[in-house]
Amino acid sequence: MTQAIATEASVVKVRVWRGKEQGEYQAYEVPRQPSQTVLDIVTYIQREIDPSLSYRFACRVGVCGSCAMVVNGQARWTCRTHVDKVAQDGEIEIAPLRNLPVVKDLVTDMAPFFDKWAKAKGQFQGDTTRHDEFARVEPESKQRQAVDLAIECIGCGVCYSSCDVVSWRPDYLGPAALNRAWTLMNDVRDTGKDDRLEAVGNDAGCLACHTHTSCTELCPKQLSPTASIAGLKRMVR
């Protein structure tokens, strides 16, 4: 049932997922504004039409990644997605990220995503103390150059939501966790490389990747988890 009344030319017709795993889309009409983002749309619905709508956001400027949702079938940062670029005949469909449990409406439980970072040994391991000299990472070194982009990942979950292998294999570590593992495998200060390579060099890790490149094509920061995973495969072999 439509929740607001406005002239067709001045509104965006929005279908928003409501509920948990079992739910349905609910229709709204939101006044159209210049330079309007999808996050602006969701915020308007929650503040002006239906305060029971649940969603997640923080910075609103493309830094934190917490506002990621599926917009017209594609995972995106909603704060950086302009309505004019994605609306199809003035209509938008908004859903929670795929491959994650739905807490409520547009909010997903990110725990499985970060649990896989832990399974991929995504924590830095060192052998120095605060009393030792600071370790130096040479910017021009081969290892540092290999992860120059990969270290910029902020863990937004867009790649995980977009990965077909994650959909098929719930135990697959996913592109973000493997990208993190790749950065640490190239960190000259890290001492956990053997355990990490064992954790990711198997059929639930990098060897499961089919190189569909969805993670790379849809990464909002234009990173290439596909390349990181390929690097891990070379290390395993």
Domain boundaries, the chain: 8-108, 111-236
Q: What DSSP designation does 96 have?
A: P
To the question of domain 111-236 being in CATH 1.10.1060.10, the answer is yes
- Tens place of pLDDT for every residue, the chain, 237 residues? 444 444 455 999 999 999 999 999 999 999 999 999 999 999 999 999 999 999 999 999 999 999 999 999 999 999 999 999 999 999 999 999 999 999 999 999 999 999 999 999 999 999 988 899 888 888 899 999 999 999 999 999 999 999 999 999 999 999 999 999 999 999 999 999 999 999 999 999 999 999 999 999 999 999 999 999 999 999 997
Instruction: Kindly tell me the burial class for residue 79, based on how many C-beta atoms sit within 10 Å of its own C-beta (0-12, 13-18, 19 or more).
Output: buried
Distance CA 4, CA 8 (A): 11
Domain spanning 8-108: which superfamily?
Beta-grasp domain (3.10.20.30)
| Structural contact between residues 220 and 80, judged by C-beta atoms closer than 8 angstroms | yes
Please enumerate in sequence order all residues whose Cβ is within 8 A of that of 227, keeping only pairs 6 or more positions apart, or say none.
Answer: 150, 216
- Name which of 15, 18, 12 is nearest 82 in CA terms: 12
Cα torsion 169, 170, 175, 180: sign: negative
| Structural contact between residues 39 and 79, judged by C-beta atoms closer than 8 angstroms | yes
Asked, colleague to colleague, whether 8-108 and 111-236 share their fold, the answer is no
